[in-house]
């Protein structure tokens, strides 16, 4: 277990979100169903750091610049 | 008597019950369909209103409001939103109409309750009368997910209609959607937070938005927007309530039901995604570039357009008017074998003998016939570039088949769910030019129609991104009609012109966007995109969309083609075209190394780019000249319709700046290429 940011998540691994950035993006993520404390699965990590995660049945693509700001714990 | 006494209070009771339960239809003026992106709002709108608006498998298909009618009330389709607020244009548009709605029909995707019910809960907390449409029930069932709608309805306090836009299950129930609408269960804690605003006479809906920090709604009511702490508290409370509801009402029968979106995953992965993209592009190339543009168009343009339609119309006119007909019979490779001239000073009908001779001579396999009318008005309408003859052949028998082909391909892509995955794959590349992957969507739609794509730029996050994409669309992206003409011009010219064309356009694209990224102030937003399910495109969707778009294209292009052809025809009769050609001659002949008649194509190109490109058909250009000409025309000004939409979307200043810049860049770059390759 170690602290990291979402852009470093590995494909196929579960991560726990510990901190979301402030502002509108935070509101937007909460609406999509991503909150602090949630476990999500990283289903793809593209070269350059675009991340695709899965929460419930929903797949969400997150750009590198945003992923960098989301703090996680790697399992 | 006795019966009456017992019955009366009972009837009264049920009536009362109905009254507080059912919404009084007479009082409903505005019904608004609201929901997350890509949940099927537009499908349901189409069904309820009997209209057609676009339905596609990516979030953000609908970007503006469409009005129609349902049971005597106004019915509105809105852009998809994840919550009511003013974070972006779509939200602002949707927010205003929700605030003024009498009834909200909230469409949710049964697969993504956790995401979708957040908006539902917010609408309920706003105190709106809501009916919930639980859509996608076909997929829910297939995935063996069970939703306890009874319990969900009780927990939310609103009525639920289960539907599937695919199987049309539950669509008959939509009749009751407005009647069933009611105010859902209210939250007392929240009520407490809002009370001081409500006491000032502010509606509950607006009060909630103010506390959530919506500055537009706040200043409208002369209030201070709430602090971000308040929003956080309300959002987190709402989120946990929704999560709790979902755990109570939903269970999966077997974990195997989990979506296994294999193809979707593959198209994301770089190792498989790139090959998939190449396969898709090749398929498109073979379908359009080979099948439609060669086989189909050859048949429609020559057999139907020229031999059947034009020949008969022109012969009919020639029957009664002075005409000279030049007929050349050709051999297999297209060389002239024999020329014959038939003169009818009093019209063909007056000289049956010569007419029969003409008909027999022209009744051969390979033949070219040129009808010449001495009357200038007849020339204007029925001559070689006749408003009636040429325009109809171009529009119906050349452009239409190709445009249908392009729209068909676009519809398949839009319906498959591939576009958002392409957006994800391209995200990093787009970051380099100040965009995020979402920009793929308007750009891809631009290959269908620039005018439409200009509006779709609304789904981008910031004004800066919209400017960059709008510029890219006007400068470098050829629309389907234009691609159609280019395909025809390039077919038979070999691979080299195509390669030069693609290379030049790509270089311009990269230079332009890099420059804009460097020069424009402001920031771009990061990608945050929910990916819809990949699925096999549904034929009825595709055919419907292709039909409506092609119809729309014909309606618009038709008008402009006729107007354009009349203007060009009149200019020609009065010699204005000649003057214009001579003025531009140094530019066309020296710099672009094209015949001076090409100047006509540029006038035509200001009306529509495809029309301009069509003006190149009869110029007998060499393949390198064709290359220069299509590069110049592609980079040239957008068509009138998209120019107007651009002004509306991006404002006068920006719109005109882009328009003028396209002039300059088209001639500069076209000229440079000409100097190198000709
Ligand atoms: N399987 C299935 N697909 C559906 C259903 N309803 C809609 N769809 C598909 O979902 C996609 C989105 O439908 P739209 O009607 O465009 O959705 P929308 O809510 O208007 O989307 P936006 O305008 O982007 O907000 C389309 O591909 C539809 O064919 C349904 O009940 N079942
Ligand atoms: Mg829609």
Q: Is the pLDDT of residue B382 over 80?
A: yes
| CB hemisphere CA count around B62 (13 angstroms) | 31
Closest in A23, A32, A65 to B115, CB measured: A32
Length of chain B: 678
Q: What is the model's pLDDT at position B18?
A: 42
- What is the arithmetic mean of pLDDT over B101-130? 96
CB pair distance less than 8 Å for B87 and A56: no
Q: What is the model's pLDDT at position B122?
A: 97
- B319 contact A CB<8A: no
Taking ligand 2, which is a single-atom ion, which protein residues have CB atoms under 5 Å away? B 42, 61-62
Instruction: Locate all alpha helices (DSSP H) within B340-477, ordered by sequence.
Output: 352-362, 376-382, 389-392, 400-416, 418-431, 440-446, 450-456, 463-475
- Residue in chain B lying closest to A22 (CA): B228
- Chain B residues inside the 8 Å CB shell of A26: 232
pTM of the entire predicted model: 0.86
Q: What is the model's pLDDT at position B8?
A: 38
Structural tokens at position B418: 């591939």
Least reliable range by pLDDT among B143-157, B258-272, B382-396: B258-272
Q: What is the model's pLDDT at position B476?
A: 92
What is the radius of gyration, based on Cα positions, of chain B? 31
Separation in Å, CA of B615 to nearest CA in chain A: 44
- Residue B42 C-alpha to ligand 2 middle, in angstroms? 4
Q: What is the model's pLDDT at position B5?
A: 38
Closest CA to A13 of A1, A21, A31, A26: A1
Using pLDDT thresholds of 50, 70 and 90, give the confidence band for residue B555. confident
- What is the arithmetic mean of pLDDT over B543-565? 87
Strand partners, B336: B330
Closest in A31, A35, A62 to B82, CB measured: A31
Residues 6+ apart with CB under 8 A from B590: none
Strand order in A2-5's β-sheet?
Answer: A2-5, A71-74, A14-19, A39-45, A51-55, A58-62, B528-531
- Chain B residues inside the 8 Å CB shell of A6: none
Report chain A's mean pLDDT, rounded to a whole number.
Answer: 91
CB pair distance less than 8 Å for A50 and B269: no
Region of residue A63 (left: phi > 0; alpha: psi -120 to 50; beta: else):
beta
Closest in A28, A35, A47 to B528, CB measured: A28
Q: Is the CB of B570 under 6 A from ligand 1?
A: no
- Residue in chain B lying closest to A20 (CA): B232
Closest CA to B542 of B533, B550, B530: B550
Other CB atoms within 10 A of residue B228 CB: 16
pLDDT digits (tens, 9 = 90+) for B503-513: 999 999 999 99
- Atom 16 in ligand 1: residue holding the nearest Cα: B55
pLDDT digits (tens, 9 = 90+) for B42-76: 999 999 999 999 999 888 889 889 999 999 999 99
What's the 3-state SS for B594-647? CCCCHHHHHHHHHHCHHHHHHCCHHHCCCHHHHHHHHHHHHHCCCCHHHHHHHH
- Residue B510 C-alpha to ligand 1 middle, in angstroms? 34
Using pLDDT thresholds of 50, 70 and 90, give the confidence band for residue B334. low
Separation in Å, CA of B249 to nearest CA in chain A: 15
- B423 contact A CB<8A: yes
pLDDT digits (tens, 9 = 90+) for B361-371: 887 777 788 88
Report chain B's mean pLDDT, rounded to a whole number.
Answer: 87
- What is the arithmetic mean of pLDDT over B553-559? 84
- Chain B residues inside the 8 Å CB shell of A32: 82, 115, 528, 530
pLDDT digits (tens, 9 = 90+) for B164-210: 999 999 999 999 999 999 999 998 889 998 999 999 999 999 999 99
- B361 contact A CB<8A: no
Quickly tell me which residue has 């009349």 as its tokens. B566
CB pair distance less than 8 Å for A59 and B264: yes
Q: Which of B529, B533, B534, B535 to mutate to test the interface with A (most CBs of A within 10 A)?
A: B529
Q: Which of B268, B422, B434, B459 to mutate to test the interface with A (most CBs of A within 10 A)?
A: B268
- What is the arithmetic mean of pLDDT over B546-550? 93
Q: What is the model's pLDDT at position B53?
A: 92
Closest in A22, A26, A63 to B527, CB measured: A63
Q: Is the CB of B94 under 6 A from ligand 1?
A: no
Q: Is the pLDDT of residue B22 over 70?
A: no
Q: What is the model's pLDDT at position B21?
A: 55
Other CB atoms within 10 A of residue B601 CB: 23
Q: What is the model's pLDDT at position B386?
A: 78
Q: What is the model's pLDDT at position B6?
A: 37
Q: What is the model's pLDDT at position B554?
A: 87
Q: Which stretch, B560-564, B618-622, B643-647, has highest mean pLDDT?
A: B643-647
Residue of B44, B55, B65, B75 best suited for mutating to test ligand 1, as the one with most atoms within 8 Å of CB: B55
pLDDT digits (tens, 9 = 90+) for B403-416: 899 899 999 999 99
Separation in Å, CA of B585 to nearest CA in chain A: 50
- Residue B541 C-alpha to ligand 1 middle, in angstroms? 10
Q: Is the pLDDT of residue B3 over 70?
A: no
CB pair distance less than 8 Å for B112 and A44: no
Q: What is the model's pLDDT at position B1?
A: 38
Q: Is the CB of B482 under 6 A from ligand 1?
A: no
- Residue B115 C-alpha to ligand 2 middle, in angstroms? 18
- B575 contact A CB<8A: no
Separation in Å, CA of A28 to nearest CA in chain B: 8
Region of residue B351 (left: phi > 0; alpha: psi -120 to 50; beta: else):
beta
Ligand nearest to the CA of B46: 1
Length of chain A: 75
In this structure, the strands spanning A58-62 and B30-35 are: unpaired
Q: What is the model's pLDDT at position B271?
A: 87
The interface predicted TM-score of the complex, written ipTM, equals 0.95
Least reliable range by pLDDT among B80-84, B230-234, B333-337: B333-337
Instruction: Locate all alpha helices (DSSP H) within B176-326, ordered by sequence.
Output: 188-199, 204-211, 215-220, 228-249, 262-268, 270-284, 297, 311-320
CB pair distance less than 8 Å for B268 and A52: yes
Using pLDDT thresholds of 50, 70 and 90, give the confidence band for residue B32. very high
What is the radius of gyration, based on Cα positions, of chain A? 11
Chain centre to alpha carbon of residue B67? 18
Considering the domain B24-185 in this protein, what is its CATH number?
Answer: 3.40.50.300
Q: What is the model's pLDDT at position B136?
A: 96
- Residue in chain B lying closest to A53 (CA): B530
Q: What is the model's pLDDT at position A1?
A: 63
Structural tokens at position B331: 């051999």
Considering the domain A2-74 in this protein, what is its CATH number?
Answer: 2.30.30.90
Using pLDDT thresholds of 50, 70 and 90, give the confidence band for residue B228. confident
What are the residue ranges spanned by the domains of chain A? 2-74
- Residue B80 C-alpha to ligand 2 middle, in angstroms? 7
Q: Interior CA angle at B35 toward B217 and B421, to 5°?
A: 115
pLDDT digits (tens, 9 = 90+) for A12-35: 899 999 999 988 889 999 999 999
Using a 10 angstrom Cβ sphere, with 0-12 exposed, 13-18 middle and 19 or more buried, the burial of residue A25 is: middle
- Residue B486 C-alpha to ligand 2 middle, in angstroms? 32
- Residue B393 C-alpha to ligand 2 middle, in angstroms? 35
- Atom 11 in ligand 1: residue holding the nearest Cα: B57
- Residue B436 C-alpha to ligand 2 middle, in angstroms? 22
- Residue B502 C-alpha to ligand 2 middle, in angstroms? 33
Q: What is the model's pLDDT at position B60?
A: 86
Structural tokens at position B198: 């409500």
Q: Which of B147, B250, B427, B435 to mutate to test the interface with A (most CBs of A within 10 A)?
A: B427
Helix (H) or strand (E) holding B186: none
Q: Is the CB of B389 under 6 A from ligand 1?
A: no
pLDDT digits (tens, 9 = 90+) for B288-313: 877 887 788 888 988 898 888 988 89
- Atom 2 in ligand 1: residue holding the nearest Cα: B136
Q: What is the model's pLDDT at position A6?
A: 94
- What is the arithmetic mean of pLDDT over B140-159? 94
Q: Is the CB of B456 under 6 A from ligand 1?
A: no
Atom of ligand 1 nearest to the CA of B164: 31
Using pLDDT thresholds of 50, 70 and 90, give the confidence band for residue B19. very low
Closest CA to B382 of B291, B439, B319, B293: B319
Q: What is the model's pLDDT at position B27?
A: 77
Atom of ligand 1 nearest to the CA of B43: 15
């Amino acid at each position: 277990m170690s602290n990291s940011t979402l852009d470093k998540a590995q494909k196929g691994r579960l991560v726990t979100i510990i901190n979301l950035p402030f502002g509108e993006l935070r509101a937007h993520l909460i609406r999509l169903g991503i909150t602090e404390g949630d476990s999500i699965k990283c289903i793809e990590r593209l070269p350059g750091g675009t991340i695709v995660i899965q929460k419930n049945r929903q797949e969400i693509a997150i750009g590198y610049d945003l992923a960098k700001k989301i703090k996680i714990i790697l399992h | 008597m006795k019966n009456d006494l017992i019955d009366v209070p009972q009837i009264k009771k049920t009536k009362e019950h109905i009254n507080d339960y059912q919404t009084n239809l007479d009082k409903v003026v505005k019904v608004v369909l609201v929901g997350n992106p890509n949940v099927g709002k537009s499908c349901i709108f189409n069904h309820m209103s009997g209209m057609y608006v676009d339905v596609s498998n990516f979030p953000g298909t609908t970007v503006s409001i469409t009005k129609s009618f349902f049971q005597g009330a106004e019915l509105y389709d809105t852009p998809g939103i994840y919550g009511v607020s003013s974070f972006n244009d779509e939200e602002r548009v949707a927010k205003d109409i929700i605030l003024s709605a009498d009834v909200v029909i909230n469409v949710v995707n049964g697969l993504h309750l956790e995401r979708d019910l957040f908006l539902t809960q917010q609408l309920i907390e706003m105190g709106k009368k809501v009916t919930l449409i639980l859509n996608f029930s076909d997929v829910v069932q297939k995935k063996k997910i069970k939703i306890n709608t009874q319990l969900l309805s009780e927990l939310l306090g609103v009525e639920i209609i289960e539907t599937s836009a695919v199987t049309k299950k539950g669509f008959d129930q939509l009749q009751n959607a407005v009647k069933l609408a009611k105010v859902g269960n209210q939250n007392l804690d929240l009520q407490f937070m809002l009370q001081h605003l409500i006491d000032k006479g502010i509606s509950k809906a607006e009060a909630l938005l103010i506390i959530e920090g919506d500055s537009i709604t706040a200043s409208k009511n002369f209030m201070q927007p709430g602090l971000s702490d308040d929003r956080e508290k309300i959002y987190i409370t709402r989120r946990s309530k929704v999560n709790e509801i979902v755990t109570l009402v939903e269970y999966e029968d077997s974990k195997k039901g989990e979506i296994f979106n294999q193809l979707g995953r593959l198209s994301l992965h770089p190792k498989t995604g790139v090959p998939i993209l190449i396969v898709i592009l090749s398929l498109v190339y073979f379908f359009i570039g080979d099948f439609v543009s060669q086989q189909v168009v050859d048949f429609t343009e020559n057999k139907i357009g020229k031999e059947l339609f034009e020949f008969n119309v022109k012969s009919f006119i020639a029957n009664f008017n002075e005409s000279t007909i030049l007929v050349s019979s050709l051999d297999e490779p297209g060389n002239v074998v024999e020329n014959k001239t038939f003169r009818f000073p009093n019209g063909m009908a007056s000289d049956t003998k010569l007419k029969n001779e003409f008909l027999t001579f022209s009744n051969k396999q390979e033949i070219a016939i040129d009808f010449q009318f001495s009357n200038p008005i007849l020339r204007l309408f029925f001559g070689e570039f006749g408003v009636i003859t040429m325009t109809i052949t171009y529009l119906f028998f050349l452009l239409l088949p190709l445009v249908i082909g392009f729209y068909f391909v676009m519809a398949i892509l839009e319906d498959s769910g591939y576009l958002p995955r392409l957006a994800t794959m391209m995200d990093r590349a787009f970051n380099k030019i100040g965009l995020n992957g979402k920009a793929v969507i308007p750009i891809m739609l631009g290959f269908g129609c620039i005018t439409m794509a200009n509006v779709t730029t609304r789904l981008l996050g910031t004004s800066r991104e919209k400017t960059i994409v709008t510029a890219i669309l006007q400068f470098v992206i050829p629309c389907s009609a234009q691609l159609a003409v280019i395909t025809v011009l390039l077919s038979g010219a070999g691979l080299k012109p195509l390669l030069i064309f693609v290379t030049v356009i790509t270089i311009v694209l990269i230079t332009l966007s890099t420059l804009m990224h460097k020069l424009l102030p402001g920031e771009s937003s990061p990608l945050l995109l929910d990916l819809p399910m990949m699925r096999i495109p549904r034929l009825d969707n595709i055919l419907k969309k292709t039909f409506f778009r092609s119809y729309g294209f014909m309606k618009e292009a038709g008008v402009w083609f006729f107007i354009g052809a009349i203007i060009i025809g009149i200019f020609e009769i009065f010699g204005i075209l000649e003057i214009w050609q001579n003025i531009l001659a140094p530019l066309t002949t020296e710099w672009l190394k094209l015949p001076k008649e090409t100047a006509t194509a540029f006038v035509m190109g200001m009306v529509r780019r495809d029309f301009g490109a069509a003006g190149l058909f009869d110029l007998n250009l060499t393949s390198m000249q064709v290359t220069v000409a299509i590069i110049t025309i592609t980079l040239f000004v957008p068509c009138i319709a998209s120019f107007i939409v651009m002004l509306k979307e991006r404002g006068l200043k920006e719109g005109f700046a882009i328009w003028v810049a396209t002039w300059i860049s088209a001639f500069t770059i076209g000229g440079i290429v000409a100097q190198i390759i000709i």
